[in-house]
Amino acid sequence: MAGNTFGKAFKVTTWGESHGAAIGVVVDGCPAGLELSEEDVQRELDKRAPGRSELATARREEDKVAILSGVFDGRTLGTPISMLIWNKDVDPSPYEALKNVARPGHADLPYFLKYGHRDWRGGGRASARETAARVAAGAVAKKLIRTYGIEVVAHVVEVGGVRARIEGLNFEEIRRNVEHNDVRCADLETAKEMRRVILKAKEEGDSVGGIVEVIAWNVPPGLGEPVFDKLDADLAKALMSIGAVKGVEVGAGFEAARLRGSEMNDEFYVERSEDGVRIRTKTNRAGGILGGISTGMPIICRIAVKPTPSIRKRQKSVDFVRLEEVELEIKGRHDPCICPRIAPVAEAMVAIVLADHLLRNKLARA
């Protein structure tokens, strides 16, 4: 019983194999009347596209999206939005030699054991290429949540043990800075050091991991549904469903385990401004979510990204058809650090969760 759809009101279904004819996505449940163009989607896809930096894989995909349905005269129809991206720079040859080999850290073996039959070319369905479809859907979600004033940004806060310093930066500065370096780090100085760490690993035929933070700004209170579809629960699922993510935390996250209640609790206060009266918290260790429902404070979550499993270094593994041990060297074209390209995907997934819950929350009161 497959699981290629995310969301209950804003439903995203992706399809496609890395080296098949195309990849794509159907967004069902986007309300009618929203302005949407191919340019809106293309802009987001370009953030994730490969072949544009020495930090990323050399696979050259234009990743030009076509919107095939659901939009008429520049606005959505309330019907499914089907988007398609052709696979062009397809070269399965480096994968052929390894088609029965379980590449360490990859899903080859579990796919083989689960399905019996699999598309071994470039990871098939398990390829990171699938995330382009998520980014396309995320572009629609962003347009929708923006009508409520919500903005989302993802930025790389740690790479190979090097941490960014972002304490003084506000939301707009973070958004601006990430566009100015190919690591997508908001701390422009540390970004340079991160680049060096990544390129050094690449040179050595190895790879590094890191941490990406996602911030959602201007999220109204009330999003999230008790008890299983809590906002943080859906964020955790959305983010953990991205390949290479091994951990998700919200607000203080794992640090919360070491705090006392009196330190962890955010104190409420009343803020009176021109915009009216709002209840806010002085600190935001909750990360904008209490009891699974947004509080009105910014939503902050972080993901742990493992180092790219495809490395040039020699590794030991197994031919799962012959049941023999083998040695392998992975050629293909790979990112020495996946964090910069995971950031737009994380942004997309958070936008999709917020779009879904914005719609769902419309049904909370009679």
> In the set 240, 284, 298, 333, which binds a copy of itself (CB under 8 A)?
240
Beta-carbon neighbour count of residue 224 at 10 Å?
25
Q: Provide, rounded to whole angstroms, the least separation between the CB of residue 245 and a copy of itself.
A: 8
Report the site for a copy of itself in 107-146 (rule: CB under 8 A): 107, 109-111, 113-119, 124-126, 130, 144
As a whole number of angstroms, the distance between CA 315 and CA 72 comes to 52
* Site for a copy of itself contains 340 (CB under 8 A): no
Q: How many residues contact a copy of itself, by CB under 8 A? A: 156
> In the set 1, 39, 273, 275, which binds a copy of itself (CB under 8 A)?
1
> In the set 175, 296, 298, 333, which binds a copy of itself (CB under 8 A)?
296
Helix (H, G, I), strand (E, B) or coil at 138: helix
Q: Are 348 and 137 in contact (CB under 8 A)?
A: yes
Cα torsion angle, 208, 246, 289, 344, sign: positive
Q: Provide, rounded to whole angstroms, the least separation between the CB of residue 172 and a copy of itself.
A: 25
Beta-ladder partners of 303: 212, 248
Closer of 169 and 326 to a copy of itself (Cβ): 326
Quick one: how far is CA 361 from the chain centroid?
Answer: 23
Taking CA atoms, 77 is separated from 25, 81, 136, 310, 366, in Å, by 17, 9, 17, 42, 26
Return the biggest CA–CA distance within the chain. Answer: 72
* Site for a copy of itself contains 106 (CB under 8 A): yes
Report the site for a copy of itself in 178-207 (rule: CB under 8 A): 201, 206-207
Stretch that binds a copy of itself, among 38-46, 67-75, 165-173, 186-194 (CB under 8 A): 67-75
* Site for a copy of itself contains 332 (CB under 8 A): no
As a whole number of angstroms, the distance between CA 90 and CA 122 comes to 9
* Site for a copy of itself contains 51 (CB under 8 A): no
Stretch that binds a copy of itself, among 16-24, 40-48, 57-65, 177-185 (CB under 8 A): 16-24
Q: Are 299 and 215 in contact (CB under 8 A)?
A: yes
